[in-house]
Amino acid sequence: MELRLDDEGTQTLFGNRDENLRMLEDEFDVKISSRGNEIFVQGAAANVAPVEKLLKEMQELIEQGYPLKKSDLSTSVRVLRDRPETNLVGFFTDDALLAAVRRVVTPRNVAQKLYLQAMQDYDITIAIGPAGTGKTFLAVAAAAAALSEKTIKRIVLCRPAVEAGERLGFLPGDIAEKVNPYLRPLYDSLYDIIGYEKVDKLMEKSIIEIAPLAFMRGRTLNDAFIILDEAQNTTPEQMKMFLTRLGFGSKAVVTGDVTQVDLPEGKKSGLNEARNILRGVEGIKFFEFGDKDVVRHPLVARIVVAYDRADREKRPKGSEPKA
């Protein structure tokens, strides 16, 4: 196939010491070489075709001025394995995603892109799936983008403090110190996306608020982007309470993994019950991630699959996971 790029573009496509090409060779079991203005891909036809498609469309992105990163190549591999017909130029430049979203985060597979789109299109999005699929991180990114675009006035993030039964009085320190261990993952996402100094300033002005779920009772939140994380550890009553906090001009995103419920024995998960009760309700989008959507370290995906397999093997035939 033809190589159309100048030296700088070729360096971007090939990577340092051709690391991008070596990665593609490993992923697709092919051999890639170049001579002059040509790239040669050798291997089984079924493996060569997606590599040539990927290289061709990566060239188009670079020609359009897209700042291609090594992680974009890994994303492209996942996308083509999931949906071989996907146009990668459109995937990375789709105008359907708010420009503000694209500034703060790039979806790393088709599922993530559809999830970001769902959060733009629906007032309530409920995302269910295993660890490492980006449920919470992308929700925080969408919230940050909405704040940047001024479509909302504040961000509210909350979690159930289930280990302490949401009775936090016996823990040492002031209220911030009591709830901090439960909310730390939300802080981490905010700092990664927005930055430490800006987050601290926005929290001082109450533009960003992080609180345990129990503190949401009795409130109505207008012009806000509200995120409930670890929702599998809510009771049905808490879930109903949270969802009815939604005010005018607001969006809510609920994230959780129904296979990791930490509620006391005999307590139903509010997330699992919401999935049964609210599916089909207009204005609510349920979005389910699977094992193949995990985008953390490759070992995380294998760990998720191994635990799921072990859980299925020891579960009595016909029984369902705890919910």
User: Which of 64, 93, 122 is the C-terminal boundary of a domain?
Assistant: 93
Report if residue 297 sits inside a domain: yes
Predicted confidence (pLDDT) at residue 195 exceeds the cutoff of 50: yes
Domain match, 123 and 245 both: yes
Share of the chain above pLDDT 90, in %: 37
- Considering the domain architecture, whether residues 147 and 47 belong to the same structural domain is answered as no
Residue 166 pLDDT exceeds 50: no
* Residue finishing a domain among 31, 64, 93: 93
Instruction: Give the CATH number, domain containing residue 85.
Output: 3.30.1370.10
Judge whether 1 lies within some domain.
Answer: no
Across residues 119-136, what is the average pLDDT?
A: 92
Which domain range does residue 50 map to?
A: 7-93
Could you tell me if residue 2 is inside a domain? no
In a domain, 220, yes or no: yes
Q: Confidence class of residue 11 from pLDDT cuts 50, 70 and 90?
A: confident
The pLDDT tens digits of the residues spanning 37-92 come to 788 999 999 999 999 999 999 999 898 888 888 888 888 988 898 888 899 988 88
For position 123, what pLDDT does the model report?
Answer: 94
> Do residue 273 and residue 139 come from a single domain?
yes
Q: In this model, does residue 25 exceed pLDDT 70?
A: yes
The answer on pLDDT for 265 being more than 90 is: no
Per-residue confidence band for 323, with pLDDT thresholds at 50, 70 and 90: very low
The pLDDT of residue 155 is above 50: yes
Mean local confidence (pLDDT), 99-110: 71
What is the C-alpha separation between 53 and 313, in angstroms, rounded? 40
The mean per-residue pLDDT over the stretch 289-310 comes to 80
Alpha helices (H) in 29-155, listed in sequence order:
45-63, 70-82, 88-93, 99-104, 110-121, 135-148
**Alpha-carbon dihedral angle through residues 125, 130, 136, 138, given to the nearest 10 degrees:** -80
Question: How far lies 161's CA from each of 4, 19, 140, 171, in Å?
Answer: 55, 44, 19, 12
For the chain, the domain total comes to 2
- Do 155 and 285 share a domain, yes or no? yes
User: What pLDDT was estimated at residue 50?
Assistant: 92
Residues 79, 117: one domain?
Answer: no
Residue 175, domain member (yes or no): yes
In this structure, of 161-165, 187-191, 266-270, the range with the lowest mean pLDDT score is 161-165
Query: Do 41 and 189 sit in the same domain of this protein?
Result: no
Question: 101 in a domain, yes or no?
Answer: no
Mean pLDDT computed over every residue of the chain: 85
Provide the whole-model pTM: 0.74
Confidence of residue 164 (pLDDT cuts 50, 70, 90): very low
- Does residue 319 lie in a domain region? no
Choose the weakest-confidence range: 91-105, 145-159, 246-260, 265-279. Answer: 91-105
pLDDT at 153 over 80: yes
As a whole number of angstroms, the distance between CA 260 and CA 321 comes to: 10
In degrees and rounded to multiples of 5, residue 32 shows phi and psi of: -115, 130
Comparing CA positions, the residue from 141, 140, 260, 273 lying closest to residue 210 is: 140
Last-in-domain residue among 61, 93, 125? 93
In this structure, is residue 48 part of a structural domain? yes
| pLDDT the model gives residue 281 | 93
Same domain for 265 and 187, yes or no, is yes
Instruction: Look at phi and psi of residue 204 and say left if phi exceeds 0, alpha if psi is from -120 to 50, else beta.
Output: alpha
Same domain as 32, residue 171: no
Query: Is 73 in the same domain as 180?
Result: no
For residues 131 and 278, membership in a common domain is answered with yes
165: confidence class by pLDDT, cuts 50, 70, 90: very low
Structure tokens at 227: 């995120």
Instruction: Tell me: do 157 and 254 sit in the same domain.
Output: yes
Say whether both 18 and 123 belong to one domain. no
Domain with residue 295: its CATH number is: 3.40.50.300
- Fill in the DSSP letter of residue 269: P
**Mapping DSSP to helix (H, G, I), strand (E, B) and coil, where does residue 31 land?**
strand
Quick: pLDDT tens for 198-241. 899 999 999 999 888 888 988 999 999 999 999 999 999 999 99
Mean pLDDT of 165-170: 48
* pLDDT, tens only, 170-188: 555 555 566 667 778 888 8
Work out the pLDDT band at 127, boundaries 50, 70, 90: very high
